Structure 1
């Protein structure tokens, strides 16, 4: 859903999964970090047309938090190139436009969500 630009739905799914894991697990850190990625990207995208830096301060804060959570997560985690995610976040903190249109690869592909994915996300609320 993140790759579709559905950042709020993506956030909700990561949050739901984050709650399924205990503190201190790599899965928990990954889900919490990716939740912050979705929230930061949403902040940037939602405020993009309202002037320079409108949502970018919030994006920078959320990306910094995401980097903290993702710090100890393996570079390749369940097919996600976490090292590439960390690099993109670091660069986007200084050049927010580099997050525009960014898609996260899973097993070297950048998949779109299926209708069933959106149905699942809708059922979380």
Structure 2
């Protein structure tokens, strides 16, 4: 997936909206900061979230981190493959390491484009 086609939350989740469905994952920067991911906790299909709501967590050898929904909607799919292979989030965070898909309830607000997200990452690295 092309990172320039995504929108980003300041909490380091990405979202790709395709019609009324949005795919959500964590950014490459986030997975690098976490290190080797050992467990991913995801919500159930049918759960609904507002933008900014906590929807799960990822655990790594370094830390645990909460996940926040970058968009309002109802969960229509979760990446069950991560239950047995959480390392997919490290290996391909913008592809096979996606976390969930939502049916979009309303357009997201306040998300960053690629350039703005890169500026945020650079400011956090210093």
TM-score, structure 1 length as denominator?
A: 0.33
Identify, as 1 or 2, the structure richer in strand: 2
Identify, as 1 or 2, the structure richer in helix: 1
* Greater relative CO (CA pairs within 8 A, separation 6+): 2
TM-score, structure 2 length as denominator?
A: 0.32
